[in-house]
Chain A
Amino acid sequence: DSGVTQTPKHLITATGQRVTLRCSPRSGDLSVYWYQQSLDQGLQFLIQYYNGEERAKGNILERFSAQQFPDLHSELNLSSLELGDSALYFCASSREAGEYTGELFFGEGSRLTVL
């Protein structure tokens, strides 16, 4: 158990819909990262938050947004869903701000299927 909690574990929805994925970081970790794993793209970095503020942005679509709340949990919102958004979405956390020098711990992922 990494200590990073993600919900839901599985989600099936239709094209055009909107979903929210939730992540609780390990106790004491201030940084949260979101990654997408799809069959054709591998593991791709989406976005990082540190203590409530966006710190780094990767290959995140405009239809996707995220935020980190005062209690440090984070949500990833996916809207106007397309078939190609079907993937495993991971959240990770670490203590560091953004130098990425420390170890990242991943949650179990949220498997999204868009029909």
Chain B
Amino acid sequence: GIQVEQSPPDLILQEGANSTLRCNFSDSVNNLQWFHQNPWGQLINLFYIPSGTKQNGRLSATTVATERYSLLYISSSQTTDSGVYFCAVVFYGNNRLAFGKGNQVVVIP
């Protein structure tokens, strides 16, 4: 069935380290977004990236739609990067934003 899989599920980083989060999806998509849910529960838009590469400060994302995956890069991590990162996609013909289970990231000082 339709699936959005994120890896790794949990990640502990030392402040200053770099990391890569991965999102695999089971079918063609026409929308892909990355969100950060902070410890207070807020869902913050990071990237709208159905294809290609984007950068925003220390974060960047790449989606290779033909190979059905997206990557989120965190460089020089800070404690404020802690939280859960969600990948969400809209599959063609499905018409709803489906979320993965998230990557729980903890950045320790």
Contacts and interface: CB of A to CB of B under 8 A. Distances in A.
Interface in B38-63: 41-45, 48, 50
A42 B33 contact: no
Given A2-B45, A100-B30, A100-B31, A56 B96 contact: yes
Contacts of A102: 31, 48
B73 interface: no
Interface string A38-74: 0000110100100000001010000000000000000
B42 A108 contact: yes
Interface in B80-98: 86, 88, 90, 95-98
A48 B88 CA distance: 16
B48 A103 contact: yes
Contact of A106 (B35, B50, B101, B102): B35
Nearest to B91: A100
Contact of A58 (B44, B48, B86, B96): B96
A60 to B, nearest CB: 12
Contacts of B41: 88, 108-109, 111
Interface residues of A, number: 23
B98 A45 contact: yes
A25 to B, nearest CB: 15
Interface in A82-113: 88, 90, 92, 98-106, 108-109, 111
30 contacts: A2-B44, A2-B45, A33-B97, A42-B101, A42-B102, A43-B99, A45-B96, A45-B97, A45-B98, A48-B96, A56-B96, A90-B43, A92-B97, A98-B95, A99-B30, A99-B95, A100-B95, A101-B30, A101-B50, A102-B31, A102-B48, A103-B45, A104-B45, A104-B97, A105-B45, A106-B35, A106-B43, A108-B42, A109-B43, A111-B41
Interface of A: 2, 33, 42-43, 45, 48, 56, 58, 88, 90, 92, 98-106, 108-109, 111
